[in-house]
Each structure stands twice: as C-alpha cells, then as structure tokens.
Structure 1
Amino acid sequence: MNVVAASDEIPYDAAAPHLDPLGDPFLRTRFALPARPATFLRRERLVEHLDQALLTPLTMVNGAAGAGKTLLVADWAAGLRQPVAWLTLDPAIQGPGMFWAHLLQALRTQGVPVADDIDGPADGSRMRHTLTRLAARLGSGDRSVIVVLDEYDRVGAPEISRQLEFVLHHAGPGLRLVIVTRNEPLLPLHRYRAAGAMTEIRNAELAFTPEETVALLELHGLRLPVHAANALVERTGGWAAGLRLCALAARRCPDPEAYLKEFEAGHSTVADFLLAEVLDRQPPPTQCLLLRVSVLERFCVGLVNELTGRTDAQSILAGLHRENAFVEDLGHTWYRLHPLFREILRAHLRERGADLEPELHLRAARWLGRSGLLPEMLAHGAAAGEWDFTARALVDDLAIGQLFTGLRSDDLTELFSGMGPEATSPAADLVRAARELSRCDLDHAPAHLRRAEDELTADASGSAAARLSCALLKALAARLTGSPGRAEQAVRTARELEREVPAPLLEKHPELSALLLTHLGSTRLWAGRFDEARDALTTVADGTAGAATALAREEALEHLALLDHLDGWPTRAERKAVAARTQTERFGLPETSVPELGRLVLAAVAVDRHELAEAEAFLDGTDGSAPRDPVTAAARSLATARLLLARGRARAALAATEPAVTADVASPWERCHAALVASAAHLAEGRPDEAARVLEPVAGEQPVCAVGAARAHLAAGDPDTALKLLDALGAEADTGPAVLVRATLLRARAAHEAGDLAATRRLLARSLTDARRERLRLPFLEAGAWLGPHLTGEPLRGLAAGWLLPGATSEEPAPLLVEHLSGREHDVLERLAQLMSTEDIAADLYVSVNTVKTHLKSVYRKLAVNRRGDAVRRARELHLL
C-alpha cells in the first residue's frame, strides 16, 4: 500500500478519475485538511483523547457551531504517520452515489489503492457490490486507514449512514472512521458504546478551560488574569469561536481587558456569528421560539408552549438539542440556552419588539406560579415590573420568612430592591417592612408594618397567610426594640392564624414557627424570664433539622449559650455556642447571615478563663457597629467591658457598658451586669465604698449580683455584710460554678482576714476543685495578692498545678495573682515599660514624684514583685501591656 503522510497538499494519482458521477470535477478543497490559523491553540488533553481513535473503529467529535471541532481534528490528523482521508461534506454532495464517489476520491488522494476495480456508482444499482468490494479491500490491508468525515450533519439521506456502518463493520481494523458533526449521526452508536468500540468528544469537553483561555488570548497578544478568564469562560461557556471573536475584537480596543469583561454580546461579531450560523439556519417558527425563550434562565415544554402559543415545543426542543443548536438538556424535560446565545437573543428580541419582553416575563411568572415554582415565578414577576403581583405571591406562599433564613435572603432583598412606591398593596408593604427589618432598620420598617396591618385589618377577607406574615414581622420588630409584651401578643396572634392556614402550606415553611419562637425566646431572655426563654429556645434548637430552620436553630442555641453563661456555666455555654456555629456551616449559608451572639459568648467564656488574646479574637470576629438586637448589644458591651477589666483598663470598661441599643423595656440582667462592671471598676480604682453603693439596687436580683456586692463590702472592710449576702444565696440548682467559685473565694478571704487558716485552706480547696473543671482562672486573679502564698504552698499547690500554676515540681516562681490595677497605676506601668525614670513619669503625667512612687508601690504589691524589670515582665505575662 502506498502510504502518503497527511498534509495540506493533496497528492493526486495521475491515473485516478477527476470527475464525479455528474461529470463535474472534484473540488480539491473538499479533501484538504483545513489550515490552522497562527492563533490556533493545541490543547493536549483533547489531542490525547483523540489518540484513542487509533484503537476504536468509530470516533465522534460532536459539538456546536464554532466549538473548534474541525480544527482540533485537523491538527491531530496532521501529526499522524498513517494515511488520513479527509472529506468535508456540503449540500452539493447529495445522495449515496455522490457521497461514495467523493469518499473514494478522498481515499485515492491519500494513495489508498481502491481505484483498480472499485468504481463510484452514479446510482444504487451497483451499490451493494461497490460497498462489499470497498470493505474487503480496506480490511485486507496491513495498516488501518483513517477516514475523517467533516460536517457530517450535512448528510441528509439516512441510507448513507446505514451503508457507512456496513463498510465500517466489515472493514474491521482496516478502517478507523472519525465523524465531525453538530448532531448525532444515524449510526447504531449504542452498540459501539456498549462494546467500548467508540471514542467520543462532545460539546462540554470541547469548551475551553480558564487556563486554556488565558493561553489562547496570549496567542492573540492579550493578557488576562485567570480570575478574569474565569468570568469570560462563564459568560461564553468556553465556546471556542466566541473566545476567538472576542479576542480579535479586543485587539482593536484601547483597553482590551475592559472589553473582554464588559463587551456587549448583542452588538458584536459574536452576535453576527451566532445569528447567522444558528438562528438564521432555523425555520421561522423555531426562530420565534428561540427569541421568546431567551427571557428564561431555563424552560420546559409546557412553559415554552405557554410563551409561544404552540403545542409542539417538545419535538422542536429535542431537535435543537440534537443539532447542538446551543440548547442544552438539563434533564427531566428541562432545557436552557447557551448563556452567550441567550444574551444575544435577548438583545435581538428587544430590537424586534421592546414591549414583548415584559409580557413574556408576566406570562412565564403566571405559569410558574401555577406550577409551584416560586423562586423563578418571583424573578419573572419582578422582571415584568408587576410588583404587587410578585409581593402577593411571596406573601401568599408564606415565604416571607425566607428573607431571614440565610438561604435566599440576599436574593430576595436584591429582587425587591427595584420595587418603587407604585406598589401599594398590603403585601408590598409587608415585603418593604421585611427588607428593613432584615437589616435592623427601625426608622422605616414600623411605618410599612403599620400600614400593612391597617389594610389587612380593614379587609376581613384578606389572606390568612398575609396576616400570619404580619404577625411574624411584628414579633421580630418587638425583639429588635426589646418589647417582650408585644412579642408575646404577636406570637399569640400567629398561633390563632395558623389554624386558618392550610396545613400543607405550614409544613412547607417550618422556618415560620422557628423564627417566631426564636424572637419570643430572645425577648423573654431580655426581660430576665430565663426559664420561659429557655423553654421557647429549646423547642427551636431541638426542632427538625433542615436548611430552612438552620439559622433559627443557630440563634436559639446562641441564646441558650448566653443563658448558661449568665447562670455561671461556662463549659455548657461554650458547648452550645460551638454547636450553634455548625448549624449554618453544614448547609453552606453565607457568612453575612450568621449571627454574632455565639462569638460574644465564647469571648465571655475566654475572659473567665483569662484567655484574653482568644477573647479579643472572638470580639474582633463580630460586627460591633451594627448590633442586631438589645440582647446582642448587651452581650457585646459586657464581654468587651469584662475584657477591658481583665486587662486593668477600668475607665475604658465603664465606657464600654454604655447601651448601644435603646430598648422599650429595661433588662434586669443587663442592668445587674453593668452594675457589676461599674463596681469592679471602682474596686480597681481603690473606691470600695462606691463599689458597694452601685450594687445596692440590684444585689438581691441575681446570685451574681449578690456575690459582687459581697466582694465590694469585703474590700470596704465589712465582712459581716459580705457574709450575710453570701449566706442568702442558698444552694440554687441553676447557679453555676462561675458564680459559686467567686462566692467561695470571698468566704476564703474572710476566713484569711479573720486568721482562720484551716477554713481558708478548706474553702480554697473547694474553689480550686470547682474551678479546675471549668478552667476558671479570672476569679483567682480578681481575688488579690493575699491568695498567692496559699496557692504556692502545700497542700493547695497540687490542686492549682498545671492550669493555674505551672506545675507542682517546678523550680520557677509561680505566676502570682494580681488585683486589678487602677487607671493611673496602668498609666504608670506603661511608662515604666518605656524605661522612663520616676521624674520623667511624674512630668509626663503632671503629678508629683511622691505620687508616682505611691503608685509604683501599689503596682509592685499587686504584681507581687519588688523591682521595675520584674513588674514589666509580669505585666506582659498577664497581658497588661
């Protein structure tokens, strides 16, 4: 066999005939490998895949117009050592006779000896004989012949495919057939696939990757970062022709990168290509269908029939998909247009009839609403500008709670951002109120909510779903304003309205009940009704898991964590706060939707354990500029204040307790804890009497307040009053170790000051045992320097070793405990760390040298050191500097 390497030059056997069955000369271009342009990018992943064609009888490269399939196969064929017979088909090659005559000529141009006794039949009379002889001749060779049929989708006669399969089957390994097409040929592809005898490259594989896009643009002299290439690939679908046309157009622009990011697809060479190669090749009814469905992200047969008034959309869509006419099959009878094709068609639709697009959106919205596809229905209703219709659909579906679940919150907020004052229905006002409440805007939300409620009250026939949605928003508004009574009333109203709503609709939206109870639990917590708050919040936390209720469960767990912290159970609080964070993470909710109360609880727990850097990290991870509600605002203020206190910044701690949110009702626990901070600040500044005075109004409200008051009285030299306050605590079951450890330490200090060493050690042992389980270090630091000698000696040293002290056998001095430094003492300490002399410190602070010396003595005493250097080192260990 005379083997001639494939190339763009086509060798002709001088003896071979050069006329087709109609007597016309063969056109050489039909047998030539298409030339690759200088900007052609060889993609090795596809070339490697095509190499499998040498091992399988049949290979199909199936892709849309401009997908790069012809150049891919031509480049691959040019690099082979085997004969490659190339035939580009066109409409002029009609009927089996013309087809086989051209295929025989393609074989002859590559030196395949088929001309001796095989003629190209002009009709079907000798076709069987010709095909049999051809198959036998190809099968008898010692090397296989590769035949590439380009643009095979132009073959119209079904019998050609049957004849081709006959030759392919009987030629055996002597023939390797490569078909390049826009649609699937009428060959028994299922048999070849089942037998593993077929190589396929389809549209998705032909698409350019972002990295390949970068390389292609570089061949055009353009540079684009990969992240920008990602956006370009997403917009074009990696379509080869689209990328090349964009690159050519960008080269003519002063800012190519900006063009590639923002080019108008509807008015470009890309649009010209797609309109000519895809749209114009379709019959007018199909063109109309494509233009109308361009307003849809995805579509099914029923929806297309609705928009077109046709009844045969199923066959048209299936045909377009088979033809790779930029219609993608999503499965389950749903389709979508190629994104760039859709963009171009929409621009074309607007040019043909600007008034048609809103009508199409509205018709689509109504059909989607009847089909229960709410998200898409809302999108099309908004696109049609029918805001009252769209808002009513959201409210009547009881889906307004989705604005607060994190799943579709951002989408719905953005969707309704275009709603103007022309929408005047109660549903529109409810949506406006929900949007404002979702971002805690209490300046505008109440007016929208009142107007909607008034209209719904006036219209007794109004939707129960709308009135229930209104109750949900009123509960949220009550939570944000700290109004427990209004929250209770809103939830009672909601429970009554739930009886009027169809059960399947309620079951469809579990987030509604979860949100209501979360808002109710938050307001009860604010009011200090801890047991009732815990009941409501536990119902949410233990409710059915799911994405719709994940955010409500997270908020409920965070509130339960805060309750545990306020009751003095740091480990319980920590567990619930950590568990809360997993609720939304498992469903991939956006971080912007995640509440911050859990982080604030973790910060407070870290302060109790004197892990100040960790506490600060938790606080930094929250958005302190926009507290969601009074509970969160108070939790942030108190966690910040207690961290500042632990670092000896008493004045800053006092400032931090200023309320960040104005509530309608004062919170007893918030008032109590703010007084505790003020009392501790006064103690740090050396004013124990003032520390006791600020706690007098709240000393009997909560155990933690009584302990704080006892601490102040003990510091003021009044142990009798202190012990009476502690005795009044009793043994309440819900009082946790963070409170009881402090109470026990105060009793130990009273025993120490009374000279009762045995009682002191017994009480210290109990406090160490209770604190160790919770890793509570701060109460011991707050206790003062009197505690150090007790803990560094036996038998208490063993109880403190490893978590409060370095270790029982360590030769290093134990880290000594410290009273809070006053603000002025902290100022002196900071200048001490700057190696300033006593005189320089006095001058810098505008005080006398003797005053500085007094402050230094106090600093040394509180830090249990005797020298400047030791004071600075110890202060750094305690994060005071």
Structure 2
Amino acid sequence: MDERPEAPAAEPVRTSVAGVPEGRTTVPELPGWLVPRPRLAERVSRGVLGPLTVVVGPVGAGKSALATEWLHTGRAPGPVACVRCEGREERPDVFWPRVLSALCDAGVDLTECADVPVNELLVARLAVQLALCGTPVVLVLDDFQPEQGSPVAEGVASLLKHAAPVLRLVVLSRRDPPLHLHRYRLAGELTELRTADLAFTDAETAALLAQHGLDIARNVVRALRRRTAGWAAGIRLAAMSMQGQRDPDRFIARFAGDDEAIVTYLVEEVLDAQSAEMRRLLLTTSVLEQVNAELATAVAGADAGRHFALLVRQNSFLQPLGQGWFRCHRMFADVLQVRLQHELPGSVAAAHRRAAAWLAEHGFLATAVGHALAADDRPYASRLVVEQLGIGQLLGLTATRLPDMPTPWIPAESRTDDPEPVLVAAAIRHPDADAGAGQLAEAARLIDRLPETEPDRVLRCRLTHAVIRMAGQRSRDPAAARAAAVEARALSARLPAHLLAERPEIKALTLFVLGRSETRAGDLKAAESLLTGGLKAAGATGNEALRRGCLVELALLEAVRGRFRAAGEFAALATRPPLPAWTARDGSHATLAVVRAWVALARAEPDLARGELARARTALHTLADPFTAGVAVLVGRLVNLAEQGVSEVHETLLGTTGPWLPPALRQPVVRACAASLGASASGATAHHRDPGAVLDPAAVSVERLTAREGDVLGRLSQMMTTEEIAEDLYLSVNTVKTHLKSVYRKLAVTRRSAAVRRARELQLL
C-alpha cells in the first residue's frame, strides 16, 4: 500500500481498479475451515433490508468469517461491494478509490464519478449516483475503524445519509464505528451484532474442534466454551494446542490466558497497537473483575483514567454491564495480567490496594477484601471487615460471603497490636469454641488498649467482638449469647442508623438471640416483638437459617400459649424452601420437632406426635437445649395421657417439670396442656377454654369481611405497616385506617396482633 502523505485534494481519482490491490475489493472465497453460523447470517440478511448493519467484536471474534458466510448465501437484496479497510490508519486517497473500485466490480455504474477529486465533491457525486440505482446496493466495510471526526468517517456518514434508501452499509469493526449510531438506533434502522452475539455456542464449538480431528465429550466442549467465553480465536488456538493431547479434560481445565499461543496472538494483535497511556491503563485495570471510570482512575491514576472513555470506545474486549460498568473478556484479562506481572511487577500489589480502598468506600466489601488479600495485606483486609461491619458476611449470616480467608489468618511468626486481625481470626474459627475463645480474649485485651482518640474504631471493634460471641455461643451457651446480644444492641444504638440498615444481619442475629432468651425467661410478649423484628431483618439479609430460626421460635411461642393453629402455620413456614441444610450447631431442629409433636397431639394424631418426639430426642442428643428438652418431656406425658383417654390436666402434671419452666410460664403452659388434651380427646377443637386457645370457626359468629378488608387483613398478617399497606393497595393511609377499624370491630379485638391471631384461629387467613 502507498504510505505517502495524503494526496492533495485537487488530484483526480479514476474509477479504474489500477493501483488498488485486488484482494482488498473482491468477495473472498468461502474457506474450508469456516464454521457455518446460519443464525447470525440470517440476522445480517435481515439487517441489509435497512440502511445500517454493524458487527462489532474483538479481534478473532469471527466478524470477517461471518461476513464471508453471508456473502455466499445469495441473500443480498442487490449487488454487493466489499472493501477491506486499513483499520485506524485510513486515508481518504486510499479508501475512496477502493470503494469506487469495489462498486464498479459489483456492476454499479459510476461514470459520473470519473475524474472527480478525493474531497467532499466525490462523496456527494457518489451519493447521487447510488441514489439513482434501481436496486439496493450493499457496501461491506471490513475492519472499518477511522477516528471520530476524521475525513473518512465524515465522508462515509454523509454517503450513508444522502444515498438512502438505496445504499445498505454493513460495517465490521473492533469498536463502534463513528457513524452516529444512536440516530439510526432511535429510528429503528440499525441492526447490531456484538461480542455476546458472536460468541460460539456449544454446537459451534464442537464443529470447530471436529475440524481439527477432535471428538470430545459434550461436557468438555461446554467447559472450553465457558473458559473462552465463546471467543472464536481462543477456541481455535485451544484446538490447535489440543491436537495430540492424551487428556483433553485436564488440558481444558488448565487452558487460560497464560497459554503461549493466546498471549502471543493478543499481544501482537491488540496490546502492541495501543499508545503508552492506553497500554498502562489496560494492564493496571486488568486486576479488576469489573471497572468503571472512577475505579479506573483510582487504580491507574488520573492521567491514565482520563483515557478510559476512549478505551471503552476503542476496545470491544470490554463488555458493558450497564450503569457505566464494564468487564474485560476473561482470556484477554488473563493475558493482561500476565503482561502486568512481566512489565510492571512492582505495581501489582499497589493496584490491588487502591482497588480495595475505592471498593470498600463505595460499599463493595467482599470485592474489596478480595483485592486486599490479592495484595497479600491481611491486616488491611481485617481492618476493612471490622471497619465496614462486615463480620456477618464472614460468619455466614448473609447470602453474600467474603472470599475464603487463608488459615492460619495470623502467621505464627507475626505479632500484632491491632485487634482487627485477631477478631477476624476468631471469626474464621468461630465453630471451634475452644480455639476461638483464646483469640476473643486476646482481641478484647487489644481493644482495651486502643487510643481514646479513635472512639469510632473502638465502637466497631467492640460490636464485632459481640457479634462473634453471639454467633459462636447462641447454641452452646444461651446465657453468654444473651449477654453478647445485649451488648451488641447497646453498641448498635450508638452507630448511625443508615450504617446498620446496610447490615441487617447484625440486627437479625441480635433480635433472634434476645427473642429466644425472652421466650425461655417467660416474657412472651417481649419475645414475640423481638422475634418478629428478627424475622423481618433475616428476610432483608437473605439468611434462610436465621429466618427459619425465628419462625421456629415463634412457633414454639404460640404452642406455649396454646395457639396450635398459629404454631402449625409458623412451623410450616419454617419448612418451606429455600431450606438451608441443618447443621449440628442449629438448635432449631429439635425445637421444630417438639412444636410439630405438640401440634400433632392437638390434632388428635398421637402416633405422629411420637414420631416427632423421637426426632427431637435425636437432635437434642447432639446439641442440648434444656428448655426444648423440658417441653419434649411434657409433650411426651401429654401423649401418654391422651392415649389413656384423659382429657383434663391434673395439678401434678407440672409438679415435676424441673428448672426449665420459669414461674411466668406456668399458667400459659397449663392452659396449653389443657387445650391440647381437650382437642385430642374430642377429636376436634375445644370451644370453652381461654380465648387464646384454638377456636372452632363454626362455633363463632363473625360478621363477614369485605374483599378490601380481607386484603388489608392479609397484608397485616405480613407485618406491613399502615403506610406500606396503603402503598401496596393504592389507597390513602386514612382509608386503610378505616378498614382496620372495621376489621377490629368485626373480629372483636383492639390490636393488630390480636386481629391476626383471631383471623388465623377463625381460618380467615
């Protein structure tokens, strides 16, 4: 190609093909190695029915192969002209003669363009000539990457605009072509195929491997496609490397961006073409899973960060995720990380630390900790966990988890005066109470030695300490867990409300431990309030184990009150999926079995009750719970009495119950025993006992609720506030209050909880 400076505008250009390399303007042959992709060729066929089709993807994504396949389908609406461009180095004096030659070779009459200089006049004359054609004309521009605002870019945009509707332009590029795509997109006149569309499917991957004589199991093909993210060049290079391999499964498991063929290909095709600033930006940000402009600036520096927008426009290996975030193609990121270690080895740890700082500040704690660990900075990772109150994520109290922490967390040869690493070490080992106890004691000593000038740090360390104790002792030592929960609640009150709102797992655990403790102490009203709040917080944090624990404790609370229908409902909710696996440290397993046994007795199903009691005894053998064990013994006695036909509770029944039953619970438990025996003896629900016991709906006359009152009542049972009910039903708050008053009157109650309870007893919910 002629590499001279751009020719003067006055120099005429002939439509002759002389001086234009033939391979640059002819339709390429259909190669034997091409993998047919009819699904994509069909999209191109539909695209050329409109003015503009763009195929944008990274190097090696199969753009040119797709165009070649489509050209040989015979689906073009008219003559087709093909031009292979020069990428970013496009010159008008080279580009436009190629376009004219390609169009002439396709049979388009361009006699009016003869002897016209390469300037705006040529583009205008060409647009007129094309507009006069009787049939559509397709122009395919391969590797079209001129700079925004360049003469070539402006000329093609003008040609497309003024040659409509005859000209159908197909552009293949590694980046968005500067052709005002947004205008065509808004008008519905743009067809786009991008990196995700060009990714190979499992079937196409298998076809490519078969070309290399590789007959591989379907699961291995899928693994390769996932590892390469469907990148055609990566699959082809892997296939070439796999030939002769005895163990393809093992090869694919190890195949990544550090493969020599992959590194060489991408460095030569992509990385070496970047400017020094762009190269540094690509290398430095390769440590990130996802990146946006602010994070790129924080990690790579302000100078490099200023090039981020240009990088996004020019590099199709960066795939948009939405809201300004991008992810680098997996294999290209691997290559960049290999080159980063080679070219800038001293900057890797620093880049990870800067990423950790920015991510932690913006609420991405798990990712931030991962970067701190990648920088091999465990003290900083510990500081982030404690400072951000992320201990719940480390303890498994949330749906999202922190990265796996190396053990031992504190190397034996190191010493620290900071409590944060010791707290994290204790949290990592919290299932091992003996090992964690020593570290918690050491952490408490170090917290006491923190300077008074850092009150916020002291507060967060103490709260973290309390949360670890709660998590570790909630099943082993309820009294110690309750003391930690009381402390955590007091410490939480001193923190900003918005901060704790972001960590509902701390509230959920605290309320669960306190609610469970209040039930066993006999304050059922306080327990109900605490457990209800804990249930809401557990739902917000996605912790199904804590949610189940709160439901089981609420079921136990209702059983102790003698409200067996409500107890059964809570027990049923506790067994609805998604269900976490029971663990040896989860005391809820035994409690749930005891509740279900008592409910079965109240339903006159003694055999079922005995089966549940057997399950409870097995669980209690693994993890002791005196209160649950006491209730289990009591229910066992009730089952014996029911089978003997006894329907009334004798005063001696609770005479030997033991210390598990506090005085405040004796009367509720007596009523509950009477209710369950009476129901079991009669085979139906008793009508004559305490209003809190199970009621027979047929024996109670209740004025019928309206449909809207039923809607309000249903949302009331979901613990929604008046404002939330109003918003959900599109009503005013005053209207909701009016419906509530009517519901209370019809159910003969005065409070929300009583209304829900009464409605459950009457089977209105």
Would the aligned equivalents of 1:568 and 1:737 in 2 still touch at CA under 8 Å?
Answer: yes
Shift of 1:745: 6.6
What is the correspondence of 1:643-662 to structure 2 with a 5 Å cutoff?
643=611, 656=618, 659-662=621-624
Match of 1:89 in 2: 85
Shift of 1:300: 3.1
Would the aligned equivalents of 1:577 and 1:601 in 2 still touch at CA under 8 Å?
Answer: no
Shift of 1:518: 0.9
1:50 pairs, out of 39, 44, 47, with 44
Gaps of 5+ in 2: 1-13, 645-650, 700-765
Match of 1:419 in 2: 409
Match of 2:677 in 1: 742
Give the distance between the partners of 1:499 and 1:226, measured in 2 at CA. Answer: 57
Q: Classify 1:209/1:738 alpha carbon distance in 2 versus 1 (closer, same or farther; 3 Å).
A: farther
Range 105-114 or range 274-283, more displaced: 105-114
Secondary structure in 2 aligned to 1:146?
A: strand
Letter in 2 for 1:661: L
Secondary structure in 2 aligned to 1:463?
A: helix
2:629 pairs, out of 667, 670, 675, with 670
1:471 pairs, out of 466, 473, 481, with 466
1:182 pairs, out of 159, 166, 174, with 174
1:390 pairs, out of 381, 394, 401, with 381
Would the aligned equivalents of 2:299 and 2:351 in 1 still touch at CA under 8 Å?
Answer: yes
Give the distance between the partners of 2:512 and 2:25, measured in 1 at CA. Answer: 75
Shift of 1:490: 2.5
Match of 2:367 in 1: 376
Match of 1:573 in 2: 567
Matched, 1:288 2:280: yes
Give the distance between the partners of 2:659 and 2:459, measured in 1 at CA. Answer: 46
Give the distance between the partners of 2:253 and 2:277, measured in 1 at CA. Answer: 34
Would the aligned equivalents of 1:237 and 1:338 in 2 still touch at CA under 8 Å?
Answer: yes
What is the correspondence of 1:6-21 to structure 2 with a 5 Å cutoff?
17-20=16-19
Q: Classify 1:442/1:267 alpha carbon distance in 2 versus 1 (closer, same or farther; 3 Å).
A: same
Shift of 1:64: 1.6
Give the distance between the partners of 2:100 and 2:615, measured in 1 at CA. Answer: 94
Secondary structure in 1 aligned to 2:622?
A: coil
Gaps of 5+ in 1: 1-14, 21-25, 616-638, 646-651, 686-691, 707-728, 747-762, 777-798, 800-881
Secondary structure in 1 aligned to 2:176?
A: coil
Give the distance between the partners of 2:239 and 2:160, measured in 1 at CA. Answer: 41
Secondary structure in 2 aligned to 1:320?
A: helix
Shift of 1:287: 1.3
Give the distance between the partners of 1:343 and 1:701, measured in 2 at CA. Answer: 61
Give the distance between the partners of 2:501 and 2:388, measured in 1 at CA. Answer: 12
Report Cα offsets for 1:626-646 as digits up to 9, x if no partner.
xxxxxxxxxxxxx7xx2077x
Matched, 1:249 2:241: yes
Match of 2:597 in 1: 604
Range 235-244 or range 160-169, more displaced: 160-169
Give the distance between the partners of 2:353 and 2:582, measured in 1 at CA. Answer: 32
Would the aligned equivalents of 1:292 and 1:349 in 2 still touch at CA under 8 Å?
Answer: yes
Q: Point out the structure with max Rg over C-alpha.
A: 1
Would the aligned equivalents of 1:434 and 1:445 in 2 still touch at CA under 8 Å?
Answer: yes
1:61 pairs, out of 40, 51, 55, with 55
Shift of 1:51: 0.9
What is the correspondence of 1:184-333 to structure 2 with a 5 Å cutoff?
184-223=176-215, 228-314=220-306, 316-333=307-324
Matched, 1:357 2:292: no
Shift of 1:215: 4.2
Letter in 2 for 1:412: L
Percent sequence identity over aligned pairs: 29
Would the aligned equivalents of 1:565 and 1:601 in 2 still touch at CA under 8 Å?
Answer: no
Would the aligned equivalents of 1:150 and 1:179 in 2 still touch at CA under 8 Å?
Answer: yes
Report Cα offsets for 1:93-128 as digits up to 9, x if no partner.
8532322222221123233333x453265x44xx45
Match of 2:99 in 1: 103
Give the distance between the partners of 1:44 and 1:599, measured in 2 at CA. Answer: 57
**Between Structure 1 and Structure 2, how many residues are aligned?**
664
Letter in 2 for 1:393: L
Shift of 1:206: 1.6
Match of 1:815 in 2: none
Letter in 1 for 2:309: A
Q: Classify 1:188/1:384 alpha carbon distance in 2 versus 1 (closer, same or farther; 3 Å).
A: closer
Letter in 2 for 1:85: A
Report Cα offsets for 1:264-302 as digits up to 9, x if no partner.
321232222211111111012221221111111123334
Shift of 1:535: 4.6
Q: Classify 1:369/1:43 alpha carbon distance in 2 versus 1 (closer, same or farther; 3 Å).
A: same
Shift of 1:658: 6.4
Would the aligned equivalents of 1:406 and 1:590 in 2 still touch at CA under 8 Å?
Answer: no
Would the aligned equivalents of 2:318 and 2:329 in 1 still touch at CA under 8 Å?
Answer: yes
Would the aligned equivalents of 1:144 and 1:176 in 2 still touch at CA under 8 Å?
Answer: yes
Q: Classify 1:162/1:476 alpha carbon distance in 2 versus 1 (closer, same or farther; 3 Å).
A: closer
Secondary structure in 2 aligned to 1:178?
A: strand
Would the aligned equivalents of 2:256 and 2:331 in 1 still touch at CA under 8 Å?
Answer: no
Shift of 1:580: 4.4
Give the distance between the partners of 1:606 and 1:247, measured in 2 at CA. Answer: 63
Match of 2:657 in 1: 698
Matched, 1:450 2:441: yes
Give the distance between the partners of 2:57 and 2:616, measured in 1 at CA. Answer: 71
Give the distance between the partners of 1:660 and 1:675, measured in 2 at CA. Answer: 20
Shift of 1:342: 1.0
Q: Classify 1:68/1:322 alpha carbon distance in 2 versus 1 (closer, same or farther; 3 Å).
A: same
Q: Classify 1:18/1:513 alpha carbon distance in 2 versus 1 (closer, same or farther; 3 Å).
A: closer
Shift of 1:212: 3.6
Would the aligned equivalents of 1:436 and 1:445 in 2 still touch at CA under 8 Å?
Answer: yes
Shift of 1:697: 3.1
Letter in 1 for 2:446: E
Give the distance between the partners of 1:197 and 1:331, measured in 2 at CA. Answer: 23
Shift of 1:739: 4.5
Would the aligned equivalents of 1:65 and 1:324 in 2 still touch at CA under 8 Å?
Answer: no
Shift of 1:381: 1.2
Give the distance between the partners of 1:564 and 1:246, measured in 2 at CA. Answer: 63
Letter in 2 for 1:338: H
Match of 2:331 in 1: 340
Give the distance between the partners of 1:765 and 1:132, measured in 2 at CA. Answer: 93
Shift of 1:190: 3.2
Match of 2:503 in 1: 509
Matched, 1:142 2:134: yes
Shift of 1:91: 6.7
Would the aligned equivalents of 1:236 and 1:340 in 2 still touch at CA under 8 Å?
Answer: yes
Matched, 1:432 2:391: no
Secondary structure in 1 aligned to 2:621?
A: coil
Report Cα offsets for 1:470-524 as digits up to 9, x if no partner.
122233344222332x334323333443454344433433332331121122344
Q: Classify 1:46/1:94 alpha carbon distance in 2 versus 1 (closer, same or farther; 3 Å).
A: closer
Report Cα offsets for 1:411-463 as digits up to 9, x if no partner.
326246573434743222222322333xx432322222222122223446361
Shift of 1:612: 10
Shift of 1:695: 8.7
Shift of 1:408: 4.6
Report Cα offsets for 1:666-712 as digits up to 9, x if no partner.
44x52353376489799999xxxxxx999973289879xx9xxxxxx
Secondary structure in 2 aligned to 1:455?
A: helix
Would the aligned equivalents of 1:96 and 1:157 in 2 still touch at CA under 8 Å?
Answer: no
Would the aligned equivalents of 1:403 and 1:435 in 2 still touch at CA under 8 Å?
Answer: yes
Secondary structure in 2 aligned to 1:360?
A: helix
Secondary structure in 1 aligned to 2:273?
A: coil
Letter in 2 for 1:387: R
Q: CA RMSD in A?
A: 4.3
Give the distance between the partners of 1:653 and 1:774, measured in 2 at CA. Answer: 26
Would the aligned equivalents of 1:61 and 1:200 in 2 still touch at CA under 8 Å?
Answer: yes
Shift of 1:72: 0.4
Letter in 1 for 2:470: A
Give the distance between the partners of 1:95 and 1:592, measured in 2 at CA. Answer: 70
